[in-house]
Amino acid sequence: MYLTSRSIPELSGLKYTQRAQIIRLALSYLSVPEKTVLNLIKLLFLTPIFLILARIDSWEILIYLLITGICYPLITNPISIYFAKKYIDKAKAEFLDR
């Protein structure tokens, strides 16, 4: 499992924006059932966090919201990269042909 796009061997040597565009393109190749499973997995990971946030009533919620905002990509990006992995080569070929 890759935590960042920088660690994907197929995308080595590309700039961050290029890697992000290729991953976005690879995610667009996902079938509807794959997209559904991806979104359900993200939802299962994020629901407990937001349930905890809903119970906080004081100003401390700002601290927790900041932490959640920082951690959100740390949780969701590896999952998205895992699902996009099988379409990376196709997306990279299409991206470089533009």
Q: pLDDT for 7-66, tens place per residue?
A: 998 999 899 999 999 999 999 999 999 999 999 999 998 888 888 888 888 888 888 888
The rounded distance, in Å, linking the Cα atoms of 24 and 35 is 13
Confidence of residue 98 (pLDDT cuts 50, 70, 90): confident
Query: What pTM value is reported for the model?
Result: 0.82
Q: By CB neighbour count within 10 A (0-12 exposed, 13-18 middle, 19+ buried), where does 22 fall?
A: buried
Q: Which amino acid is at 58?
A: S
So what's the pLDDT on residue 60?
83
* Cα–Cα separations (whole angstroms), residue 47 to 1, 3, 54, 75: 22, 21, 11, 12
